[in-house]
Structure 1
Amino acid sequence: MRSTLAIASLLSLSTWFVAQGGYGRFQCTLVNGDGTFSADPNHTGTYNAQCGANDSLCLGYLYCTDPFGDPASGVCGGIGNYCQDYTEGSDTNSDATNEALWNQNCASGYCSFNQGVCANHVTTIDASCASDPEVACTVDQITGRALTCDPTTNTCQLLAVPSARARARRNEAFFKRNACPASHTACRIEGQRGFECIDTSSSIEQCGACATEGGVECTGLPGVEAVGCVAGVCEIWSCQDGYTWDSATASCKA
């Protein structure tokens, strides 16, 4: 019969056995050569305790068999053992919460989310993560950098880190979105390191956008005498002598 005793109860169980008949605090105690005591790994039922193919020899939510009840690693919480007890997880939990619970059922600290058995995290670049793409990859054992499962190859690859230039562009974009009031745009000052807040909907020098981003200097339009910027568009009010208004092109023509 599968044990349903929670992992959290292991501590209380061990303390219950303190000083029972002089056998120490373990259920089954070995007397060491120096007279000290230690737990018998064949009987404690904790991680890696010998269990053959008998789940009842394992404490808490630790199992000795695979998902079909067949022999697996032969030790409690070993590789290949079942680790997704339905009474422990919940369909109201997030996947991450259930995964964290089930990971505790494995001596390796990892319960394969897709396979439902104890496994080892993948810590090598180019190693397969097909069995569990979401959580199989962890950290590369050589570089110490984070790994992620490449969906095209189903192998663990180094998690991309933005370059300094990309970070600078991202930071600049963030600054431009937040440095000025909502009605204004942060426009770079030509020849200087810095920005100024411009209302590009009415600025005759940077109409429609910042000058560096295609904005129009309305006063520089050919033949204009009086001009304004209305709703981000240059609006010509009069033309210079020698120029006439051309409605077809909305410009002053010589």
Structure 2
Amino acid sequence: MEIAPVNLEISYAYQHTDIKEGPCHFLGLSGEPFLSGTFKFDIIQFICAYCKIESLVGKCREYLARHGTSVECYLEFTPEININIGAAYSQNDQAWAFKIPEGNQLKLGIEGVVSAAFEAEVFFAEISIGAKGAITTAAGFELDQHDDGLDLAGFHEGIMGSFEFVADIKRSKKNGKVLKKLEKKIQKEWQLADALKANESPVRINLYGKSRVISNADVTSTNEAQPWAV
């Protein structure tokens, strides 16, 4: 598990362009991410530990490493806290005004990965092949400020699938000089599910004022089936 250092930016601005409105002070706090970490969950290790054959995993991986082969299957979790807050102080009114724009989130990113790599020497050729498949998504809660109040709304960033294939073949003489090199790389991505923005989410908790009204999409009903004429 890795925890990143705290990241927080503070900005300040002073404005006095109108005599009637008087001077204004602007203060902003931003951290994206303010706090984050990464936790890797090895599925192969977990299954072997559950079946009480954990010692077999180390031996298998040592054997694969000696033969230039590796296999990975894991889940990676990335929790984040993002902060984005602005405030303005008017000396004439002697009052603070707070603004909570987009980006104040408590988020959890998840990536599932299955990968395999293979290296071998066949006569005067070196062959390297690797393949990786992954599914990624992120979801959480975000502060949603609107005209009627402030909500804590659920969101997700959609689900993406990806596949990568890499092949590298080198032919060389006995003295090590490379005669021919062949490289092939394929990358594909798919959108498996659309994202849901916080200001469009029906999953919300009202913190003050009134909750944002989310209009449901109109559903067009199909025509009723008519019986066949006899």
TM-score relative to the length of structure 2:
0.21
Larger radius of gyration: 1
Higher relative contact order (CA 8 A, sep 6+): 2
More helix by share: 1
More strand by share: 2
